[in-house]
Amino acid sequence: MSRNLLLISTSTTHGTGYLEHAEAEIKKLLEGKKSILFIPYARPGGISHNDYTAKARKAFAQWGISLTGVQEYDDAVKAVREAEAVFIGGGNTFVLLRQLYQNKLVEPLRERVRQGMPYMGTSAGTNVAGKTIGTTNDMPIVHVKTFDALQLVPFNINPHFLDPDPSSTHMGETRDTRIAEFHHHNRQPVVGLREGSMLRVQGDKIQLLGPHPARVFLQTGKPMEFKASEDLNFLMEAY
Amino acid sequence: MSRNLLLISTSTTHGTGYLEHAEAEIKKLLEGKKSILFIPYARPGGISHNDYTAKARKAFAQWGISLTGVQEYDDAVKAVREAEAVFIGGGNTFVLLRQLYQNKLVEPLRERVRQGMPYMGTSAGTNVAGKTIGTTNDMPIVHVKTFDALQLVPFNINPHFLDPDPSSTHMGETRDTRIAEFHHHNRQPVVGLREGSMLRVQGDKIQLLGPHPARVFLQTGKPMEFKASEDLNFLMEAY
């Protein structure tokens, strides 16, 4: 499969501008491309598709890449079929996946990715690239008929992965506990992607990018930490 | 309606034992009752129904109340129909609601509550007492066919309500932002219930208990803080 993916944990790290921390990697992903199709369905903070698109357009414009929002086309499926590259932005994962199904974009997106079209996601857009949305941190503010996601990779992703705060008195579950509970009901590996981290997938090869290690959870055994230099390719062979 | 509910944010507050902070209120709810039916479906940390039941049984035994787990009965519906009182414990809200539907307990629970049977919930067990589970903090580790919950009250609850940490550099959404996003898609009020807080519902009257104010979110307007002494009865008239 000629996959070409950049899966980014968060669009904005503390103290940097929108997409700024990922700029070099985005430029590599989109080398030779002049345009990108933006899918703003996740609507962070409930903003409109057009407002969200304007924000993304501004970032890509400075890199000489013309960005259009999928909602600007009469035929969303055709827009995906003809896109040079696709970017799905963050926001609410349930709202995003529901709209992808409603507009019948799930299969066309899978097909274009199989053909080698560059795909990038941030946060919710990274979460939906995984097997299911079952490891999102988002609130389930709308119902979606299935949690099966785009399945561009055969594992799940937990973006904005957060280590436990030892000083906290809050009794909510830690992220590790939540993912362990996930593995009582699901088999696929989960990659906890800290803010500032990215996964770069080319064909059947995967690489961790960014300053932090990733935390990998298998169905059995203890969570494992992987540095950017370490081999993560076993994740691509997951069932 | 002769509702008699105690909806507790968390089973265990920082530095106190299981159910300890709610002991006086639980005793009032169960006055004159000798037994309670426990529904352990939410399985916190993935523990078994029997292990979870044993934990709850120990707490109620010291108050002279005999507790049985619904899984100990051949006929779960009959167990609900004949229960003196019901307690649904915390854990994962999606796992809980799915099992309630699978075992056809949703309608029997509603019916018994309408008849005046005391109901208590903690965390996930409080969340499912609301209109939908759309304001849970839990990870969607299993799919559930609908987010419609027991609807024992006409609003949603956000248990373990957490105020933003001003020192955090994490870019994930605050609870306020998440609930504002919820209100882009849903009309019902949401009560943010801080740890240590409880809602006591008797008929059409509701009262906040515990040391903290509750944060109430309507579909429009800014969130509002309500102290335990203030009138929250408008919540019971929500559509």
A35 as an active site residue: the answer is: no
Q: Is B1 helix (H, G, I), strand (E, B) or coil?
A: coil
Q: Give the orientation angle of helix A93-102 with respect to helix A106-114, to 10 degrees.
A: 90
Interface test with A, best of B132, B135, B138, B185 (most A CBs within 10 A): B185
Catalytic hit among A9, A11, A21, A160: A160
- Whether A10 sits inside 8 A of B171 (CB atoms) is yes
**DSSP letter assigned to residue B30:** T
**How far apart, in whole angstroms, are the C-alpha atoms of residue A138 and residue B138?**
9
Which residue in B171, B178, B186 is closest to A195 by CB distance? B171
B82–chain A nearest CA distance, Å: 31
- Whether A141 sits inside 8 A of B134 (CB atoms) is yes
- Whether B141 sits inside 8 A of A13 (CB atoms) is no
State which amino acid sits at residue B163.
D
- Whether A172 sits inside 8 A of B182 (CB atoms) is no
Q: From first to last of the 239 residues of chain B, give the pLDDT tens digit.
A: 689 999 999 999 888 899 999 999 999 999 999 999 999 999 998 899 999 999 999 999 999 999 999 999 999 999 999 999 999 999 999 999 999 999 999 999 999 999 999 999 999 999 999 999 999 999 999 999 999 999 999 999 999 998 887 777 776 788 999 999 999 999 999 999 999 999 999 999 999 999 999 999 999 999 999 999 999 999 998 65
Closest listed residue to residue B220, CA positions, set B173, B184, B191, B175: B184
CATH class assigned to B4-237: alpha beta
pLDDT tens digit string along A10-42? 999 888 899 999 999 999 999 999 999 999 999
Task: Delimit the domains of chain A by residue range.
Answer: 4-237
pLDDT tens digit string along A54-110? 999 999 999 999 999 999 999 999 999 999 999 999 999 999 999 999 999 999 999
pLDDT tens digit string along A170-217? 777 889 999 999 999 999 999 999 999 999 999 999 999 999 999 999
What residues in A contact B184, CB-CB < 8 Å?
43, 46, 141
State which amino acid sits at residue A165.
D
Which residue in A140, A170, A177 is closest to B45 by CB distance? A177
Q: Are A137 and A90 in contact (CB under 8 A)?
A: no
Closest listed residue to residue B219, CA positions, set B163, B179, B160: B179
pLDDT tens digit string along A116-165? 999 999 999 999 999 999 999 999 999 999 999 999 999 999 999 988 87
What residues in B contact A12, CB-CB < 8 Å?
171
pLDDT at residue B170, rounded to an integer: 73
Q: Is the pLDDT of residue A166 over 80?
A: no
Closest listed residue to residue B12, CA positions, set B47, B55, B51, B48: B55
**How far apart, in whole angstroms, are the C-alpha atoms of residue B56 and residue B59?**
5
- Whether A147 sits inside 8 A of B135 (CB atoms) is no
pLDDT at residue A69, rounded to an integer: 98
Interface test with B, best of A143, A163, A219 (most B CBs within 10 A): A143
**How far apart, in whole angstroms, are the C-alpha atoms of residue B160 and residue A5?**
37
Q: Are A33 and A67 in contact (CB under 8 A)?
A: no
A123 as an active site residue: the answer is: yes
Catalytic hit among A138, A183, A197, A212: A138
Which residue in B13, B135, B172 is closest to A171 by CB distance? B13
pLDDT at residue B164, rounded to an integer: 81
pLDDT at residue B174, rounded to an integer: 87
B2–chain A nearest CA distance, Å: 30
- Whether A143 sits inside 8 A of B138 (CB atoms) is no
- Whether B133 sits inside 8 A of A140 (CB atoms) is yes
- Whether B162 sits inside 8 A of A170 (CB atoms) is yes
**Catalytic residue IDs of B:** 123, 138, 160
What residues in B contact A140, CB-CB < 8 Å?
94, 133-134, 136, 140, 147
pLDDT at residue A239, rounded to an integer: 58
pLDDT at residue B191, rounded to an integer: 98
**How far apart, in whole angstroms, are the C-alpha atoms of residue B169 and residue B173?**
11
Q: Is B177 on the interface with A (CB under 8 A)?
A: yes
Structural tokens at position A116: 């080698």
C-alpha distance across the termini of chain B, in Å: 16
Q: Is A45 on the interface with B (CB under 8 A)?
A: yes
- Whether A182 sits inside 8 A of B141 (CB atoms) is yes
Give the residue ranges of DSSP H helices in chain B: 23-29, 49-61, 76-82, 93-102, 106-114, 124-127, 175-182
